[in-house]
Amino acid sequence: MIGKGELREPRWFGRVLVVLLCVPAVLVILGLTSDILRGTRYFGSDPVKEGEHFLGEWTLRLVLATLAITPLRQLTGWNWLAKHRRTLGLFAFAYVILHWSAYAFLDVQLNWADLKTDLLKRPYIYLGMIALTLMIPMAITSTKAMIRRLGRNWARLHRAVYVVAILGVIHFGMAVKKDLTEPFIYGAVLAALLGWRVVRALKNRAAMAQ
Amino acid sequence: MLIRRAPDLKSSEITTESQYLNRREWIASMGALGAVTAFPSIAKALGASPQGQDPKPIGTPMGLQPNDTPTPWADVTGYNNFYEFGTGKEDPAENARAFKPLPWTVRVEGMVNKPADYQLEDFLKPHKVEDRIYRMRCVEAWSMVIPWRGIQLSDVLKRAEPTSSAKFVEMTTLFDPRRMPGQNSRVLDWPYVEGLRLDEAMHPLTMLATGVYGRTLPNQNGAPLRLVVPWKYGFKGVKSIVRIRLVDRQPRNTWNLSAPEEYGFYSNVNPEVDHPRWSQASERRIGEFRRRPTLMFNGYADQVASLYSGMDLRKNY
């Protein structure tokens, strides 16, 4: 094991985490409400688009954060991080729901014809929708009772997070007009997080074989 | 979604300039933490010009609908696509601040009887400067109403005397990565080139703009000289023009080179022909919440539809 840090969980950690994760959502809800109803420009000249993208990026950040827990734990030995993964995952789900709501209610404004063509014809939309759909069963089965009830299948089901993260990065990359810098950054972080797991699995296998 | 009413702003809460400058420093210092990437528009909101100091829109409304009102100055000059100064909408206003548009030389060349290099003043001098309020529709499905100041491109072309073989006009942006930092990135094939068919270029609606809101064109809007074609998507409006060339073949325009299946040569505003990734049937007017239906030729069909009679506008997108 690398770096067996003995740092114990600060007592405030869980509560502070929840409060911090609420901040972007509160900002975007207050900001957009003000921009739309009162014509302010907290979210720029096109607040609906900006707010929609803001929520999408926070979703992606949180999905990547859930994937960062395991490597972080292995690197630092702070095993108590594991129990906050659910918090991060549920917040990722809350943000994706807000992201979708901004898209459907504020951007497309519930124009059914547009929603339908978007969903059927535009790859970045349906890839995003697949990712969102995959997050629903994970959110539903996040309770302790469900973890117990599903046993080994719980871990299998929650491996869908890898697909969600990959689809999320692709969805982002396809949505931007031209400048792929940001999607590449997210892609690189995701590659590092997945690469870490692959390398560890290979090392473990080699160790077992000896 | 939870919609809460924001508290009303009292005049005592309005940020003074010095407070606002301090806040900018604070925001800059947060940059290392990624706070600016996370909340970019908050930085922008703090930089918004105080209400009441904006110039009044002036000019002859042309092709406006009854519910069209000029887009506020802060949006017209703060929300721009000008990749030469960065790909974010708020980048050009920031990164073009140091750009010095004058002195400026415009070359008129190609299939003309009178090719010439002009200093900008001499280029503009013989022509009538007008203020006109036009609708502007971006290919990204947002729109504005902009009071432009400028001259008719047709006047410039007549002065240059196109030869009988000239069929198209090609216009090119300055290429100077030291002055236009966005050109250091390969995001597009520089310099930016756009083109029009000669009859489109000669149309009386087609303008070379030198100003907005009765003021000199801000750098981020394409100073000192940019094209305005109100019935086409905004990216046709090539900015900071240094060369106007008359040619006999259809020029390859930059966005068409970059993504041919998404951006055509004609790029006429057309609610019936979707962009592959989004619908063009409606648009969001900057400053408004409800989407508006997009109009054929952006509302200029009466003036320009005849230019395209008999053409398949689905193929010639």
How many residues are recorded in chain A? 210
C-alpha torsion sign, points A179, A183, A189, A194: negative
Domain assignment present for residue A171? The answer is: yes
Chain A residue with the nearest C-alpha to that of B41: A43
C-alpha torsion sign, points B197, B199, B205, B207: positive
Rounded alpha-carbon distances, angstroms, from residue A202 to A51, A188, A196, A209, B307: 41, 21, 10, 11, 66
The pLDDT confidence band at residue A5, using thresholds 50, 70 and 90, is low
CB pairs under 8 A between A and B: 95
Question: Cβ of B279 and A24 within 8 Å?
Answer: no
Residue B257 touches chain A, beta carbons under 8 Å = no
DSSP three-state, residue B128:
coil
Residues forming beta bridges with residue B194, ordered by sequence position: B171
Query: In angstroms, what separates the C-alpha of B45 from chain A's closest C-alpha?
Result: 5
Tell me if the bond preceding B147 is cis, omega within 30° of 0.
no
Cβ pair B162, B198 in contact under 8 A: yes
Residue A34 touches chain B, beta carbons under 8 Å = yes
Alpha-helical segments (H) within chain B? 17-30, 35-38, 40-46, 73-76, 91-95, 120-124, 153-160, 198-202, 254-258, 301-304
Domain assignment present for residue A8? The answer is: no
Q: What residues of A are in contact with residue B287 (Cβ under 8 Å)?
A: 39, 45
Q: Which residues of B90-117 are buried (b: 16+ CB within 10 A; e: fewer)?
A: bbbbebbeebebeebebbbbbbbeeeee
Residue A109 touches chain B, beta carbons under 8 Å = yes
Domain assignment present for residue A156? The answer is: yes
Question: Cβ of A45 and B287 within 8 Å?
Answer: yes
Domain assignment present for residue A70? The answer is: yes
pLDDT of A153 reads: 94
Residues of chain B with pLDDT under 50: 1-2, 5-7, 9-50
Question: Cβ of B90 and A44 within 8 Å?
Answer: yes
Rounded alpha-carbon distances, angstroms, from residue A86 to A45, A83, A143, B149: 36, 6, 9, 57
Residue B3 touches chain A, beta carbons under 8 Å = yes
How many residues are recorded in chain B? 317
Q: Nearest by CB to B6, which of A34, A47, A50?
A: A34
Residue B292 touches chain A, beta carbons under 8 Å = no
pLDDT of A15 reads: 95
Query: In angstroms, what separates the C-alpha of A29 from chain B's closest C-alpha?
Result: 7
Helix (H) or strand (E) holding A117: helix A112-121
Average pLDDT of the segment spanning A29-42: 95
Query: In angstroms, what separates the C-alpha of A3 from chain B's closest C-alpha?
Result: 26
Question: Cβ of B6 and A30 within 8 Å?
Answer: yes
Residue B39 touches chain A, beta carbons under 8 Å = yes
Domain assignment present for residue A7? The answer is: no
Helix (H) or strand (E) holding B169: strand B168-173
Q: Nearest by CB to A114, which of B40, B258, B279?
A: B279
Looking at residue A108, what DSSP letter applies? S
- For B54-308, which CATH class? alpha beta
Domain assignment present for residue A5? The answer is: no
Domain assignment present for residue A76? The answer is: yes
**What amino acid occupies position B308?**
Y
Residues forming beta bridges with residue B173, ordered by sequence position: B241
Q: How far apart are CA A183 and CA B1, in angstroms?
A: 27
Q: How far apart are CA A115 and CA B251, in angstroms?
A: 36
pLDDT of A9 reads: 87
Q: How many CB atoms lie within 10 A of CB A73?
A: 15
Looking at residue B279, what DSSP letter applies? -
B270-297 pLDDT, tens digit per residue, is: 999 999 999 999 999 999 999 999 999 9
pLDDT of A177 reads: 75
Domain that includes residue A144, residue range = 13-209
Q: Is B6 left (phi over 0), alpha (psi -120 to 50) or beta?
A: beta
Residue A39 touches chain B, beta carbons under 8 Å = yes
Q: Nearest by CB to B75, which of A45, A122, A174?
A: A45
Q: What residues of A are in contact with residue B188 (Cβ under 8 Å)?
A: 178
pLDDT of A210 reads: 73
In which residue are the tokens 């010009």 written? Answer: B49
Q: How far apart are CA A178 and CA A70, in angstroms?
A: 34
Asked whether the predicted pLDDT for residue A77 surpasses 50, the reply is yes
Q: What residues of B are in contact with residue A127 (Cβ under 8 Å)?
A: none
Q: How far apart are CA A156 and CA A37, in angstroms?
A: 45
Asked whether the predicted pLDDT for residue A30 surpasses 80, the reply is yes
* B142-152 vs B168-173, strand pairing mode: unpaired
B204-222 pLDDT, tens digit per residue, is: 999 999 999 999 999 999 9
Count of domains observed in chain A: 1
Q: What residues of B are in contact with residue A177 (Cβ under 8 Å)?
A: 87, 140
A131-168 pLDDT, tens digit per residue, is: 999 999 999 999 999 999 999 999 999 999 999 999 99
pLDDT of A4 reads: 53
Residue to mutate among B2, B13, B258, B278, with most A CBs inside 10 A, is B278
Beta strands in chain A (DSSP E): none
Question: Cβ of A49 and B4 within 8 Å?
Answer: no
Residue to mutate among A36, A37, A46, A182, with most B CBs inside 10 A, is A46
Residue B284 touches chain A, beta carbons under 8 Å = yes
Both tokens assigned to A31: 């900001």
Domain assignment present for residue A176? The answer is: yes
